[in-house]
Amino acid sequence: MTYNKHTCPIDHPGLRRDFIGSSDAVAIMGVSPWDTPFSLWETKLGLRQGKDLTTAMIRGIENEDIARKYVEELYDIKLPAARVFSEKHSFLMANFDGLSSRKKVGIEIKCPGKDDHSLAEKGLVPDKYYPQLQHLMMVGELSEIHYVSYKDNEVFIVLVKANEEYQKELFQKEKQFYENIVNFTEPEKTDRDYVKRNDIAWRNLAQRYVYLKGVFDQYDQELTEVRQALIYEAKGNSSEGSGIKIIKSNRKGNVDYAKIPELKEIDLEQYRKPSIETWRII
């Protein structure tokens, strides 16, 4: 390493590269809207460019101080940002948005959108932040943490308790992810992991597909309208003429297995056929 992990700035890129941090936990647990384990792995190894700060992210960073001061005044305690390294596991670290001097009170500040802020008003934490909070408590050895949601000068605080069982699962997945980095082995890809293509063969096919789909969609819409008009003209009767037939038929509805009481206690997954590979072009 070319830096001292204990004295370099909290946002030093070397720390994010060489350690598993709290923000990484969200992708590792598969609930991140922004990253998958594979895309995070590529970013950690420098195989993928890190994401640029968006306007919303910059605004959130600027508002963190306002939210922190609010909580400090509310609890009458100083809560400076702090970096903590796990005493049990050398590859784990956590950046707290606020941590008391005795490391008893920790906070995680979010300046979210309307929906996530509304959840905090109801005393709930968005699923995508839960792994981050559990990671912070696991590394900082806290029994609880304060989730602080700030938006438009309004603050809601949700007290989140440490979940020992969840932390065990989180640690195992983070340990495996760290081993993937050290051994340069790819994590399992998800259906959100795409191979970027811009070669000539792909580009030509893609452009042709877009053109043909546009033509198809246009005629498909017209075909649907004509079909509906023909059904209307049939007046409820099977009809024939000018080279086409319209046949009226009735079929039984599908069985709603969820309403069968005898099946409620049966695990139907064991009777499921093997998965089928499917492809969509969007």
Give the CA distances from residue 230 to residues 24, 60, 114, 237, in Å, rounded to whole numbers and listed in that order: 57, 57, 47, 11
Q: What is the mean pLDDT of residues 58-73?
A: 90
Q: Which domain holds residue 138?
A: 13-182
Which range of 185-199, 209-223, 266-280 scores highest in mean pLDDT? It is 209-223
In degrees, rounded to 5, the angle at the alpha carbon of residue 215 between the alpha carbons of residues 213 and 218 is 105
Res. 182 pLDDT band, cuts 50 70 90: very high
Is 210 in the same domain as 175? Answer: no
Give me the pLDDT at residue 6, please.
55
Give me the pLDDT at residue 275, please.
73
pLDDT > 90 in the chain, percent: 65
What does the alpha-carbon distance between residue 116 and residue 128 come to, in Å, rounded to a whole number?
10
Among 97-101, 240-244, 245-249, 273-277, name the one with the lowest average pLDDT. 273-277
Is 237 in the same domain as 169? Answer: no
Is 156 in the same domain as 240? Answer: no
What does the alpha-carbon distance between residue 137 and residue 162 come to, in Å, rounded to a whole number?
6
252 is a domain residue: no
Indicate the number of domains in the chain. Answer: 2
Is 110 in the same domain as 221? Answer: no
Is 128 in the same domain as 218? Answer: no
| Residue 156 in this model has a pLDDT that exceeds 60 | yes
> 3-class SS at 146?
strand
| Residue 186 in this model has a pLDDT that exceeds 70 | yes
Which CATH number is 95's domain given?
A: 3.90.320.10
- 81 within 8 A of 89, measured Cβ to Cβ: no
Listing DSSP states for 248-260 in one string gives ----PPPP-GGG-
94 is a domain residue: yes
What does the alpha-carbon distance between residue 265 and residue 262 come to, in Å, rounded to a whole number?
7
Is 167 in the same domain as 49? Answer: yes
Is 54 in the same domain as 159? Answer: yes
What does the alpha-carbon distance between residue 87 and residue 83 come to, in Å, rounded to a whole number?
13
5 is a domain residue: no
- Within 21-54, residue ranges assigned H as helices are 22-28, 37-44
pLDDT tens-digit readout, 100-145: 998 899 999 999 999 999 999 999 999 999 999 999 999 999 999 9
Domain end (from 182, 213, 229): 182
Give me the pLDDT at residue 77, please.
95
Is 205 in the same domain as 178? Answer: no
84's CB contacts (< 8 A; 6+ apart) are 93, 94, 95, 96, 99, 103, 139, 140
Give me the pLDDT at residue 279, please.
63
The dihedral formed by the CA atoms of 179, 184, 188 and 190, expressed in degrees to the nearest 10:
120
Give me the pLDDT at residue 202, please.
93
193 is a domain residue: no
169 is a domain residue: yes
| Residue 2 in this model has a pLDDT that exceeds 50 | no
Give me the pLDDT at residue 1, please.
41
4 is a domain residue: no
pLDDT > 70 in the chain, percent: 92
pLDDT tens-digit readout, 8-59: 555 555 556 789 999 999 999 999 999 999 999 999 998 888 777 777 778 8
Is 77 in the same domain as 45? Answer: yes
Is 207 in the same domain as 89? Answer: no
**What type of residue sits at position 44?**
K
Count the alpha carbons within 13 Å of 157 in the hemisphere toward its beta carbon.
13
What does the alpha-carbon distance between residue 42 and residue 186 come to, in Å, rounded to a whole number?
8
Give me the pLDDT at residue 70, please.
95
What's the whole-number average pLDDT of the chain?
Answer: 89
Res. 154 pLDDT band, cuts 50 70 90: very high
> 3-class SS at 217?
helix
Is 225 in the same domain as 176? Answer: no
74 is a domain residue: yes
Give me the pLDDT at residue 269, please.
77
